Amino acid sequence: AHGGTEDQMGCYVFYEMKQSSATKRYEGGEQSRLWRWCDGDEEAKCLWPETFSKRGSWSPKTSKAFPDRVFFLSDHNGVANVWVMGLDGAYPTQLTRECGMDVMEFDIDGDDVVYRVGAGLKKFSVVAGGDAVGGGPVMKIARGQKALLGTPVQISLVSEFKHASVRNLPDPMLDLQEAALSFTGEHAALVIRGQIFYAPLHPELGTRVEKVTSNDGAVRYKHAQFVRNTDARDNVRIIAMSDASGEYEYVLLERGGGGGGGGGGSSASTLGGPWSETQITVGGTIRGVMSHSDVSPDLSTLVYDDTSGAITALNLNATAANSYDFKTRDAPVDDDSAYEDGDGAANATAAGGGMT
């Protein structure tokens, strides 16, 4: 026998071979069939006729909750599903209705059944469903569950995959890919393993290294360069290339919290706030590794080449890279103090030429 189980009556339910082909609706060649043998029987009894399915029936299971039933897999309808029948092979009933992928395996505990289809697990409960036509017992999935498909089992696992775990790099500078100096020379933007870091270069500025990018390994960055500040109140800004969109595009990385050592202004507020990221080019025409870009001396334009060999000029003043000089100012507040209390009425009278 290829496999089997002992039922609740002490007899053995088994299948002598298993079809090696996993092709759906395959016909021909070997076919699995379920047999039952009890002590004292001269021959085992075939429970599943050869003409009733294509690849046959296999993987029998029994449960103490239903001692007179045998649960098994069969592709009677072309796709392997969970079935149940009596110990004598009578009243076969299909319990699940998977039509896309085969049920690869299952197990039963009491009235709960768990089965594997694809890469997931599903679960359902079975109950006795009364009598079939002719007086035989039938079974069905319990009421309130997903009709004939089972409920997906949610599983959370804690893994220890060494290649995916967080680890300290013994010498991070060995993975340094690029370095860009700020215009004051006080800070640097470092590209390490495709991520951007902002680091002070002067001991008086501290030793805190900020991680600029927030996509851990999912997105790669390169060609980092600083955008010069024209005002001490400007945020630290870095332009870099990112493949977050699926193609290389330029993004602006900006640290909130006011000015800092990244531009031409004061190096105060060196801690700043969190970094934000804004995509400033679209179309996926950047040349990637071969690309070169630069910011114009007046800080208004980003110049870069594209896949067609054309040089493109991007107006930074019309994008998220606005400097303080181009930021929208608050509207002036009207001085309404002259229109308060009694003086307001007098002034209104004077302005209107008097009242009668």
Ordered by where they begin, the domains of the chain are: 3-152 (2.120.10.60), 172-326 (no CATH)
Predicted pLDDT of residue 343:
44
| pLDDT category of residue 257 using cuts at 50, 70 and 90 | low
Dihedral pair phi/psi, residue 47, rounded to 5° = -95, -20
Over range 3-28, report the average pLDDT: 79
Q: How confident is the model at residue 62 (pLDDT cuts 50, 70, 90)?
A: very high
pTM: 0.45
pLDDT digits over 120-158, tens only?
999 988 887 655 444 445 566 665 555 456 788 888 877
Task: Say how far apart CA 270 and CA 208 lie, in whole Å.
Answer: 10
Kindly report the number of other CB atoms within 10 A of residue 207's CB atom.
7
For residue 290, pLDDT beyond 60: no
CA distance 228 to 181: 11
pLDDT digits (tens, 9 = 90+) for 153-187: 888 877 777 777 777 778 877 889 999 998 888 89
Report pLDDT for 189. 94
pLDDT class of 334 with cuts at 50, 70, 90: low
Please give the residue that has the higher pLDDT: either 115 or 229: 115
Instruction: Determine the Cα–Cα distance for residues 203 and 208; give it in Å rounded to an integer.
Output: 10
| DSSP bridge pairs for 210 | 198
Determine the average pLDDT of the residues in 202-218: 84
- pLDDT of residue 102 exceeding 60: yes
* Alpha-carbon torsion angle 76, 79, 80, 85, nearest 10: -30
pLDDT at 324: 56
CA distance 163 to 19: 38
How high is the pLDDT of residue 21? 67
Lowest mean pLDDT among 9-13, 70-74, 210-214, 289-293: 289-293
Of residues 269 and 219, the one with the higher pLDDT is 219
SS3 349: helix
Arithmetic mean of pLDDT over the chain: 77
Q: Which of the residue ranges 18-27, 58-67, 294-303 would you say has the lowest mean pLDDT?
A: 18-27
